[in-house]
Amino acid sequence: MAGHSKWANIKHKKQKEDKRRGKLFSKLSRKIAVAARQGGGDPEMNSDLRMAIQKAKDNNMPNDNIERAIKRGTGNLDGLTYESFVYEGYGPGGVAIYMDIMTDNRNRTAAEVRHILDKNGGNLGSNGCVAWMFQRKGELVLDLSEFEVGEDELLLEALEAGAEDLEYGEEDAVIYTDPANYEDARKALEEAGYEFESADLAMVPDNEVSLDKKDAKKMLRLMDQLEDHDDIQEVYSNFDISDEIQAELEAEDN
């Protein structure tokens, strides 16, 4: 699995995270509000808003929260105005880090993100320093414990639905699509009976950087702190941790 998928798997294992639900809803609200402000409040006419609403529903966000976020974005409710942009940088072992940011105070966010990176063996880079290492793709993650489907069968169904590629692992399968085909492919596969553990547009790394145990421990701590920051919507990286090192780190945490 590529680094972004590895991190997603780790997060799902850690997820007795109801305490973070409020933080997640806050981030989703920002995403909806920014999409509504930039493209209007009608999801039928605004694909970014439509996908932001779908992501909120995937995470069981109440409809009232979704409606309030849309109204804030279109100016029908008072609230802070957020801007959306990207930060790029490096983590332990020279891995690439790509962050989607939404904030009402760019200077504050820059200082806080730089501090998190610096204290965990990373650094903030210039615009474009790592973006070339990633491609934006639709990413549909299937929990294989929930579906008894072989790799060949799933690949055939995914391709027929308009997907581009499949990574089939022991626990999860990740289906990749062109961003333009993401919604249609998801709909077709859901109509075929699949329910996804997660589904979104993501920055997928072209290549991975394998980390030793020391850097892996630092990297996981860094990712956890970046994910936890209120202004960081999504974090993507190209790190990879072997199953053996991951098992050692999990044993140390228990």
Q: What is the 3-state secondary structure (H, E, C) of 125-187?
A: CCCCCCHHHEEEEEEEEEECCCCCCCHHHHHHHHHHCCCCEEEECCCEEEEEECHHHHHHHHH
pTM score, whole prediction: 0.86
Q: What's the CA angle centered on 37, arms 69 and 70, to 5 degrees?
A: 20
pLDDT in tens, 141-185: 998 888 888 999 999 999 999 999 999 988 889 999 999 999 999
Low-confidence ranges of the chain (pLDDT < 50): 1-3, 16, 18
Question: What pLDDT, on the 0 to 100 scale, is given for residue 79?
Answer: 72
Question: What pLDDT, on the 0 to 100 scale, is given for residue 2?
Answer: 46
Question: What pLDDT, on the 0 to 100 scale, is given for residue 8?
Answer: 61
Question: What pLDDT, on the 0 to 100 scale, is given for residue 12?
Answer: 54
Report the distance separating Cα 73 and Cα 67, nearest Å.
10
The 10 Å Cβ neighbour count of residue 236 is: 23
Question: What pLDDT, on the 0 to 100 scale, is given for residue 1?
Answer: 39
Residue type, 217: K
**83-132+207-253: CATH homologous superfamily?**
YebC, transcriptional regulation domain (3.30.70.980)
